[in-house]
Structure 1
Amino acid sequence: MSTQAEFTKGIDKTKIIRVSEKIREAWNDYFLESQYCQKQINFGPEEKTNYMGDLLNYFDDTVELLERIPLKSNYQLAVYDTVSVLQLMYIGQDLIDELRFVFKMPQSSGADKLLIRTLRNELTGHPISRGKNNNFISSVFFTRNSHGEVIEYLRYHKDKDYKPEVIRHQWSELVRMHEAYLLVNLNDIFATIKSKLKRYQNQLVQFLEAFPKLSFEGIVTKTEHLFETFFEHSSLCSRSNLHHFYQNQDLHPRYKHCIDCFLRDLNLDLLQVTADLKQFRADELPVLNPQSDHQVLTKIAFTESSGKVFTAKPMQSNIRYHFSKLREKHPVFGIEYFIESYQDDPVLLCEMKHMQSAIADDREFYCSYEYLRHLFTIKGLL
């Protein structure tokens, strides 16, 4: 007759995974993106890979496997499960210490950790233990009472003159100890993360406060130092391109338009990120406005997905689609199509002729494209 497996309540997965998810969110949104945040932690080549994702996934797996602890009435089956469960707890401790290392924290400690590691080492890692010079230290073996709710084994240790001693623990006791260890350490790690993000938030707030007083070069340099991901939104938004637009802004409105878009959207993004950081540190869930059609701030006006700045009049059917194809230098809906379609408007025609002459120069072409988008918008065509 087969032995029916029974289980006792394990650790509370919900409370633990919730904190690990917040750590994952902080990593993906801030530490993986910001060099300023990376400098506050141990961020090496391995952290640039999917290392943290793998680590947290592995950690969550160990937690889920410990939700229910198997109880076997059969001694031999119980030994098998005991070894497995103790190893899972041991791995969880190692993963906690790896997280603490990444965020520049000392290794975990305490009686809860020590007991689990001692049990795992004696019953799974080194049932026969020898020290330096191969000196015998201890040996252990499970007793026949080690099943169900109980772990029990005999130990012969040199500190006890190798006299047998019975070591006995309840699974419920070990589960509560491991759960407490995980929660204390995860909350400690999360508190450290929030402290580091507070420093980042303060730097961004100071940047915002100084924004009106900084030179253009100062703004670009500060953005590179604190908010470098902003430059990833468009190939136009680079130091060299921005300097070119700035130096030529008095020659034609298209260059001034690109500079104005850069400053406007940078300011908006800084405001959004500081608000996001404040909300994250408060450990609140994001609240979305159900009446808003545009929940996410547009990152940069140089991209195809630029946000709405002006209220447009009724537009020609398919004009948005056609205009997006212009950006792609489409063979059908390209610059020639627009020149032919809007040749009666001298302002639009002049800018489209410039685009046509700069079709091989991406910086000039896309700068002109953004200015043309602006012209189409204020004319109610987009």
Structure 2
Amino acid sequence: MTLRTIMKKTVEDKLDRIADIWNYFIWDYNFCSNKIKFNEDVKTNYFGDILGYFKDTLDIVFTSNKHSNYTDKFSFTISFLQAVYIQQDFIQEMLEIFKTGIDKGVLKKDPTYYINRDLRNELVGHPIRKFEDKLISSTLFSYQAREDEIQYLRYHKNNNFKFESKTYKIAEIQDRHREFLEKYFDKILLKLKSILEEYLSELDKLENVIDKHDFKTVLKLVELYFEAIFKSDFAYDKASLSKIFDRRNEHIRYQNFIEKFYNDLRAAIAEKRNSVKDVFERNVVDKTSFESLSLPKIEIVFASSADTEEVKKARQETYYYEIGKIATKRNSRDFNFFSGILKAKCKSNNLVLSELEHMRKNISDKIEYYTSLRLICLELKEE
């Protein structure tokens, strides 16, 4: 593995961690998004465009390709320096979004920022630079540059427009930029870590209330700190859950639904805790190692006629397909068709037949429909 590949992998890993926190915490939970600059612009998810553009330009920044002629080297130099410049702008934007307290004024004092930026500005951004219509400097790419260097000729006012030859090692530019990216990614991750630690402490409070089975308070805290679960399943909105809870003693379908919500809530909180741990403790994965993996051999085994009956029987004992269709296609025509298949499979199961009939009569009532469906899932072990 080359040094440039290691640079890219390290930077990409930090970017992936930031993206994971954005996708699984910032985007889903107001408590987290309120800790950053989550304004109307950011809500358009242009941050996703930043992440995508960042990934697309990493190969350009950390390339080790050789160039056979001047034209190729010229094209590479422009795209390389411009990619570095764009990533610097992205870092500045990200530092602002995540409220790190680091602005452009701070960056301008950082040599890992301004050396590369000045080089890009002088050679690509403003090869002929004027101020108040007076020439400040002019630059021209050198034909004599070595493969591993960027060399150009400069005529600057501060040097009485005398000829100067400026040379930069590409590897030094890359390493300086790598240091810049890692430094400010780490500052962003440090800020995000503090947000998530505070968030986890709020989840502690939520779990304590769950253990006390104070459902009304649970819903209030979920609304404040864990609202994404309201969108995770049918009838999991706050209003429906409150109504179902109030009717929990009327029928087992309502109590079962509340217990299912509690179980899903506990599991989701545990998953979030593991996600935080994974983001900050996982090792850097070398994705290039997967490219050399070979696919396992697939052995096709033909079943005998005796096996066919067993396979057929096993299929008859699976209800996932019909339940999935009933859950997502809530109209009379589809319900009658797929519930008919389920009835045929469960003709001796009175609970399933009774709840299917309840669903048919209440097909327009979200609460009645899905509490019955969840009870059927429990009965058929299709949770």
Aligned to 2:222: 223
What is the identity, as a one-letter code, of the residue corresponding to 2:375?
A: Y
Asked whether the 8 Å contact 2:234–2:370 carries over to 1, the reply is: no
| Partner amino acid, structure 2, of 1:212 | D
Is the CA contact (8 Å cut-off) linking 1:112 and 1:178 kept in structure 2?
Answer: yes
Distance 1:202 1:333, change over 3 A: same
Work out whether residues 150 and 167 of structure 2, in 8 Å CA contact, stay in contact via their aligned partners in 1. Answer: yes
Give per-residue Cα distances to partners, 1:173-226, cap 9 Å, x unaligned: 222222222222223322322222222222212221233347322111111111
- Asked if the contact 1:10–1:69 (Cα under 8 Å) also holds between the matched residues in 2, the reply is yes
Alpha-carbon spacing, 1:155–1:71, altered in 2? closer, same or farther (3 Å): same
2:336 aligned partner: 331
The residue aligned with 1:31 is 26
Match of 1:129 in 2: 129
Q: Is contact 2:127–2:140 with CA below 8 Å preserved after alignment?
A: yes
Distance 1:145 1:208, change over 3 A: same
Q: Which amino acid aligns with 1:256?
A: Q
SS at match of 2:216: helix
Matched, 1:365 2:369: yes
Matched to 1:88, the amino acid is A
Cα distance in 1 between the residues matched to 2:118 and 2:34? 36
Normalised TM-score (structure 1): 0.76
Residues 89-109 of structure 1, C-alpha deviation per residue, up to 9 Å, x if partnerless? 212211222222221222445
The one-character-per-residue Cα deviations of 1:94-135 (angstroms, maximum 9, x if unpaired) are 12222222212224451121111111111111122223x434
Q: Distance in 1 between matches of 2:323 and 2:69?
A: 73
SS at match of 1:148: coil
Counterpart residue type for residue 357 of structure 1: K
Q: Counterpart in 2 of 1:86?
A: 81
Name the stretch that deviates more: 136-145 or 226-235: 136-145
1:1-382 equivalences in 2 (<5 Å): 10=4, 12-69=7-64, 78-105=73-100, 106-107=102-103, 108-109=107-108, 110-131=110-131, 133-213=132-212, 215-284=214-283, 317-318=316-317, 320=319, 321-324=321-324, 326-327=326-327, 328=329, 330-334=335-339, 338=343, 342=347, 345=350, 351-375=355-379
The Cα shift of 1:363 comes to 1.8
CA distance in structure 1 between the aligned counterparts of 2:341 and 2:147, rounded to whole angstroms: 81
Give the RMSD, CA atoms, in angstroms. 3.4
8 Å CA contact retained: 1:83, 1:124:
yes
Structure 1 residue aligned with 2:296: none
Structure-1 separation of matches of 2:166 and 2:322: 77
> What is the identity, as a one-letter code, of the residue corresponding to 1:222?
L
Segment drifting more, 84-93 vs 110-119: 84-93
Q: Distance in 2 between matches of 1:264 and 1:39?
A: 28
Q: For structure 1, which segment, 217-226 or 328-337, has the greater mean C-alpha deviation from structure 2 after superposition?
A: 328-337
Greater CA drift, 96-105 or 154-163: 154-163
Q: Which runs of 5+ in 2 are unaligned?
A: 286-312
CA separation in 1, counterparts of 2:258 and 2:337? 31
* TM-score normalised per structure 2: 0.76
Letter aligned with residue 371 of structure 2? C
Q: Please tell me the residue identity of whatever aligns with 1:224.
A: E
**Separation in 2 of the partners of 1:317 and 1:340?**
7
Alignment partners' CA distance in 2, 1:375 and 1:72: 67
Kept in 1, the 8 Å contact 2:317–2:345? The answer is no
Alpha-carbon contact 1:9-1:68 (below 8 Å) kept? no
Larger helix proportion, structure 1 or 2?
2
Moved more, 56-65 or 320-329: 320-329
Evaluate the alpha carbon distance shift between residue 125 and residue 339 of structure 1 in structure 2; reply closer, same or farther with a 3 A threshold.
closer
Unaligned runs of 5+ in 1: 1-7, 287-313
| 1:353–1:59 distance in 2 versus 1, CA, 3 Å | closer
The Cα of 1:163 is off from its aligned counterpart by: 4.6
In the other structure, the counterpart of 2:290 is: none
**Percent identity, aligned pairs only?**
27
- The residue that corresponds to 1:300 in the other structure is none
SS in 1 for 2:114: helix
Moved more, 368-377 or 181-190: 368-377
Indicate how the Cα distance of structure 1 residues 344 and 128 shifts in structure 2: closer, same or farther if over 3 A, else same: closer
Classify 1:319/1:275 alpha carbon distance in 2 versus 1 (closer, same or farther; 3 Å).
closer
CA contact (8 A) 1:42 1:103 kept: yes
Structure 1 stretch displaced more, 59-68 or 115-124: 59-68
**Letter in structure 2 aligned against 1:243:** S
